[in-house]
């Protein structure tokens, strides 16, 4: 106490590394998904006007189509956001979604025989979400109790869910006979598709869970330093279990909404969406090393992908360019993240 | 020194033993920590320092002997139980979540909640920030950016956050395992001054270090371990580096 001068005990001046480039870069890195989104929309607007003399983004049909297009990948990506922040990854979400879509179709049809149409629809959705939770429980137990790395455990579940979904569907798509279900998937409320409303409400709830609850807070802590979280008394095993159930149930809802949109359940419904979900999370600003990311970042990430995919079709570019464009955005996004990390000096102890 | 010896010990360890199979890691070891006292634990690698603090902090149970807290025998099944009784361990590798603020780290695992709209529970970040400011103030660390993640702070400042967490939760015994090992010299001095603060607040500190300089700067007594047994106990005012080194290596 006596040997310390006042300047040494007052930490604030030293803590500010005083590098304006750092905070500038940090801000860009934080909001990079929204910047990408704005840039893309401007690009497509210019492209569309030059090529066809037509507007891209001011056309409500385009906006609506992109929004609907983004719903299923966004639902997978919100679950994936939680998992990636915790330092894990869930590769099984795509086929859990397919499984849920098939379950939703079967359950709605079966329930429809015995009960009113709206009730059958609700039971179908509920069944899809609950059944999706089962592979989530298995993922969670494999990772938390048997200490299987998330990549491997969920890769195994990827295969299991895939097989189960195709078996349950009998190798084909399962049409849904339910007028309410079809309305849910294709109807509108004052011009806004029901699917988009459901997704928006869902995103707000998930944002609340991630940013305002202990579960969300512990998720960030576990992703940054699982040992510290454990020493602080957080039940890591319980958290990991709940985490993978949550992400699987997100995929379950995604599957049910898919079945509603196409009035059919298909096992392969989510297959192409898995990598899109990881891409949306990464573009949205999360680090694959865990510890960072936000739901609204992921929303922007999912919209970036949807805009690229829809926009390139709109301006008549061969669809294969979509893959290249999304891939490039992922790489640029990760480069920005790494540059920001290097400048922030956040990893001094590594 | 005499006055502190007359007060009852906060923590007492009597005839503690721990063996792993045939390996006797700790053998009939006894020591005591009084309020406001800093006891240094010294010894070569493998002397049993880590075994001792793990037994005290509930990481594992001793094979024999007893631990007394304010004269009452206690057993801890988990580190959590030890923490609830006021024994906090500060690890050298900084058990903090780097991406969270000081307040969030202090409250990690026991976050305060408040209600919005009368029903919706949300994290009470303001209460965390206020508590962080007060706690760090008590340690004479005045931090302005309370919402910044702790990764923005230096090693010594983060060590202060770890200590601040223990202080906030009113730990009476702080076990500090090489708290200065990962730090530069000015930062080391800062941590030493923190330990003086803890002492002034009447807490007991068990201070483990390889650095005799630090031990002599901050401790009241030093207990030397060698191959699991107590090789000697000295008042800092009545010993010197040479004697301690001799005790450590068994010369």
For A239, the closest chain B residue by CA position comes to B109
* Residue extents of the structural domains in chain A: 33-338
Coil, helix or strand for B208? Answer: strand
Q: Which residue from B109, B142, B151 is facing A346, i.e. has the nearest CB? A: B151
Judged by CB atoms closer than 8 Å, whether chains meet at B193 and A3 is answered as: yes
B244 to B38, B227, B236, B240: CA distances (angstroms): 16, 15, 10, 6
Task: For residue A250, give both structure tokens.
Answer: 């997100």
State how beta strands B11-20 and B64-69 pair: antiparallel
Q: A218: which chain B residues are within 8 Å (Cβ-Cβ)?
A: 108-109
Residue contact A3–B190, C-beta within 8 A: no
From B109, B193, B200, residue closest to A232, measured CB to CB: B109
* B49 touches B206 (CB < 8 A): no
Query: Rounded CA gap, B109 and A220, in Å?
Result: 12
For residues A155 and A142, what is the distance between their CA atoms, to the nearest angstrom?
Answer: 11
pLDDT value, residue B112: 92
Which residues in chain A have Cβ-Cβ distances shorter than 8 Å to B140? 9
Residue in B84, B91, B98 to test binding to A, most A beta-carbons within 10 Å: B98
For A324-337, write each residue's pLDDT tens digit.
998 998 898 888 88
CB contact under 8 A, A346 and B186: no
For testing contact with chain B, the best of A1, A2, A213 (most B CBs within 10 A): A1
- The distance from CA A141 to its chain's CA centroid, rounded to whole angstroms, is 22
ipTM over 0.90: no
Alpha helices (H) along B124-204: 125-138, 155-168, 185-200
Q: Where are the domains of chain B?
A: 2-86+172-249
Chain B residues with CB-CB distance to A348 below 8 A = 151, 155
**Residue in this structure with the two tokens 């070891």, named with its chain if needed:** B29
The two three-digit tokens of residue B119, written as one number? 């029903």
Q: Is-contact A76 A347, C-beta < 8 A?
A: no
In chain B, what percentage of residues exceed pLDDT 70?
Answer: 96
Q: Which of B34, B78, B37 is nearest to B55 (CA)?
A: B78
Per residue of chain B (251 residues), give pLDDT as tens.
Answer: 444 456 788 999 999 998 888 888 888 999 999 999 999 998 888 788 888 988 898 888 888 899 999 989 999 888 888 888 899 888 766 679 989 999 999 999 889 999 998 899 999 999 999 999 988 887 777 777 788 888 888 887 888 888 888 888 888 999 998 888 777 787 788 888 888 988 998 999 999 988 888 889 889 999 998 888 888 889 988 888 888 888 888 76
Q: Which of A4, A10, A16 sits opposite B193 (nearest CB)?
A: A4
- Cα–Cα distance, A275 to A277 (Å, whole number): 5
Q: Do A1 and B196 touch (CB under 8 A)?
A: yes
Output the six-digit token pair for B118.
Answer: 């009368």
- pLDDT number for residue A57: 86
Q: What is the pLDDT of residue A308?
A: 92
Residue A8 pLDDT > 50 = no
Q: Which residues contact B247 (CB under 8 A, 6 or more apart)?
A: B42, B224, B226, B231, B232, B234
| Confidence (pLDDT) at A6 | 38
**How do residues B192-208 score in pLDDT, each as one tens digit?**
888 898 899 899 999 99
pLDDT value at position B94? 65
pLDDT value of position B251: 60
Q: By three-state DSSP, how is residue B90 classified?
A: strand
Report pLDDT for B6: 63
Q: How many CB pairs under 8 A join A and B?
A: 120
B chain contacts of residue A228, beta-carbon cutoff 8 Å: 94-97, 108
- pLDDT beyond 60 at A244: yes
- Best interface-test mutation with A: which of B108, B197, B201 has the largest number of A CBs within 10 A? B108
* DSSP secondary structure code for residue B48 in this structure: S
Give the DSSP letter of residue B142: -
pTM of the model: 0.86
Cβ of A175: how many Cβ atoms within 10 Å?
Answer: 13
Q: Which of A11, A26, A209, A229 to mutate to test the interface with B (most CBs of B within 10 A)?
A: A11
Q: What is the DSSP letter of B141?
A: -
Q: Is the pLDDT of residue A22 over 80?
A: no
CA distance B108 to chain A (A): 6
Which residues in A lie closer than 8 A to residue B98 (C-beta atoms)?
224-225, 291, 346
A237 contact partners, CB below 8 Å, separation of at least 6: A144, A145
Rounded to whole angstroms, the Cα distance separating A311 from A321 reads 11
Please provide the average confidence, as pLDDT, over all residues in chain A: 88
pLDDT at position A18 is: 44
pLDDT (mean) for A218-227: 94
The answer to whether the CB of B146 falls within 8 A of the CB of B138 is: no
Please return the burial class of A288, using the count of CB atoms within 10 Å of its CB with bins 0-12, 13-18 and 19+: middle
Confidence (pLDDT) at A242 = 97
pLDDT given at position A53: 86
Cα–Cα separations (whole angstroms), residue B128 to B111, B136, B171: 8, 12, 18
Residue of A nearest to B103 (CA): A217
> What is the average pLDDT across A291-315?
93
**Three-state helix/strand/coil letters over chain A:** CCCCCHHHHCCHHHHCCCCHHHHHHHHHHHCHHHHHHHHHHHHHHHHHHHHHCCCCCCCHHHHHHHHHHHHHHHHHHHHHHHHHHCCCCCCCHHHHHHHHHHHHHHHHHHHHHHCCHHHHHHHHHHHHHHHHHHHHHHHHHHHHCCCCCHHHHHHHHHHHHHHHHHHHHCCCCEECCCHHHHHHHHCEECCEEHHHHHHHHHHHHHHHHHHHCHHHHHHHHHHHCHHHHHHCCCCHHHHHHHHHHHHHHHHHHHHHHHHHHHCEECCCCCCCHHHHHHHHHHHCCCCCCCCCCCHHHHHHHHHHHHHHHHHHHHCCCCCHHHHHHHHHHHHHHHHHHHHHHHHHCCCCCC
Confidence band for A207, pLDDT divided at 50, 70 and 90: very high
Which residues are A37's β-sheet partners? none
A126-167 pLDDT per residue, tens: 999 999 999 999 999 999 999 999 999 999 999 999 999 999
Q: Is the pLDDT of residue A350 over 90?
A: no
Q: Does domain B2-86+172-249 match CATH 3.40.50.300?
A: yes
Architecture of domain A33-338: Orthogonal Bundle (1.10)
Nearest CB partner across the interface for A8, out of B80, B96, B190 = B190
Q: Which of A61-70, A165-174, A200-209, B200-209 has the largest mean confidence? A: A200-209
Which residues of chain A lie closer than 8 angstroms to B108, CB-CB?
A: 217-218, 221, 228-229, 232, 234
Contact assignment for B108 to A228 by CB distance below 8 Å = yes
Contacting B with CB below 8 Å, chain A residues are 1-4, 8-12, 14-17, 208, 211-214, 217-218, 220-221, 223-225, 227-229, 231-234, 291-292, 344, 346-349
Which chain A residue is nearest to residue B156, measuring alpha carbons? Answer: A11
> Could you say which of B96, B123, B141 has the minimum Cβ distance to residue A225?
B96
Q: Can you give the pLDDT at residue A17?
A: 43
Tokens (6 digits) for B209:
């270090």
Structural contact between residues A237 and A145, judged by C-beta atoms closer than 8 angstroms: yes
What pLDDT, on the 0 to 100 scale, is given for residue A302? 95
Cα gap A173→A290, rounded to integer Å? 37
- Cβ distance of B189 and A8 shorter than 8 Å: yes
Render the burial of B110-142: b for 16+ CB within 10 Å, e for the rest.
Answer: ebeeeeeeeeeeebbbeebbebbbebbeebbbe
């Amino acid at each position: 106490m006596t040997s310390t001068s006042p300047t040494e005990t007052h930490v604030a001046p030293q803590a500010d590394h005083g590098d304006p480039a750092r905070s500038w870069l940090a801000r860009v890195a934080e909001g990079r998904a929204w910047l990408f989104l704005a840039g893309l929309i401007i690009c497509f607007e210019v492209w569309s006007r030059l090529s066809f003399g037509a507007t891209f983004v001011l056309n409500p049909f385009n906006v609506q189509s992109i929004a609907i297009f983004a719903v299923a990948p966004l639902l997978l990506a919100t679950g994936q956001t939680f998992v990636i922040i915790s330092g894990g990854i869930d590769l099984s979400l795509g086929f859990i979604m397919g499984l849920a879509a098939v379950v939703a179709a079967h359950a709605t049809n079966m329930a429809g025989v015995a009960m009113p149409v709206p009730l059958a629809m609700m039971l179908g959705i509920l069944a899809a979400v609950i059944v999706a939770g089962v592979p989530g429980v298995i993922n969670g137990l494999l990772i938390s109790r048997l200490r299987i790395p998330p990549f491997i455990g969920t890769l195994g579940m990827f295969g299991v869910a895939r097989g189960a979904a195709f078996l349950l569907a009998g190798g084909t798509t399962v049409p849904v006979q339910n007028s309410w279900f079809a309305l849910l998937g294709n109807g509108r409320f004052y011009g806004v598709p029901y699917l988009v409303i459901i997704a928006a409400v869902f995103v707000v709830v998930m944002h609340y869970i991630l940013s305002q609850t202990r579960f969300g807070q512990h998720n960030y802590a576990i992703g940054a330093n699982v040992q510290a979280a454990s020493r602080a008394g957080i039940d890591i095993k319980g958290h990991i279990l709940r985490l993978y159930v949550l992400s699987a149930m997100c995929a379950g809802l995604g599957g049910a909404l898919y079945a509603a949109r196409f009035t059919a359940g298909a096992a392969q419904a989510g297959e192409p969406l898995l990598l899109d979900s990881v891409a949306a999370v990464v573009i949205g600003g999360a680090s694959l090393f865990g510890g960072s990311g936000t739901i609204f970042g992921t929303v922007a990430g999912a919209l970036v992908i949807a805009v690229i995919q829809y926009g390139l079709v709109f301006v008549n570019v061969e669809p294969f360019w979509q893959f290249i464009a999304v891939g490039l955005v992922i790489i640029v996004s990760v480069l920005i993240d790494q540059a920001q990390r290097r400048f922030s000096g956040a990893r001094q102890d590594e | 020194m005499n006055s502190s010896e007359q007060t009852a010990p906060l923590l007492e360890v009597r005839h503690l033993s721990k063996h792993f199979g045939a390996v006797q890691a700790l053998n009939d070891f006894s020591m005591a920590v009084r309020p406001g006292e800093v006891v240094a634990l010294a010894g070569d690698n493998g002397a049993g320092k880590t075994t001792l603090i793990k037994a005290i902090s509930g990481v594992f149970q001793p094979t024999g002997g007893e631990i007394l807290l304010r004269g009452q025998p206690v057993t801890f099944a988990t580190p959590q139980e030890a923490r609830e009784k006021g024994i906090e361990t500060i690890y050298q590798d900084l058990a903090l979540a780097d991406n969270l603020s000081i307040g969030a780290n202090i409250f990690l695992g026991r976050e305060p909640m408040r209600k919005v709209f009368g029903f919706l529970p949300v994290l009470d970040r303001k209460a965390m920030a206020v508590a962080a400011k007060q706690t760090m103030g008590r340690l004479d660390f005045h931090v302005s950016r309370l919402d910044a993640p702790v990764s923005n702070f230096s090693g010594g400042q983060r060590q202060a956050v770890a200590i601040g967490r223990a202080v906030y939760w009113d730990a009476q015994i702080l076990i500090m395992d090489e708290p200065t090992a990962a730090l530069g010299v000015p930062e080391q001095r800062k941590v030493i001054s923190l330990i003086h603060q803890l002492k002034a607040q009447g807490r007991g500190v068990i201070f483990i270090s390889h650095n005799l300089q630090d031990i002599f700067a901050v401790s009241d007594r030093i207990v030397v371990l060698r191959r699991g047994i107590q090789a000697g106990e000295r008042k800092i005012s009545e010993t010197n580096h040479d004697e301690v080194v001799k005790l450590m290596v068994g010369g």
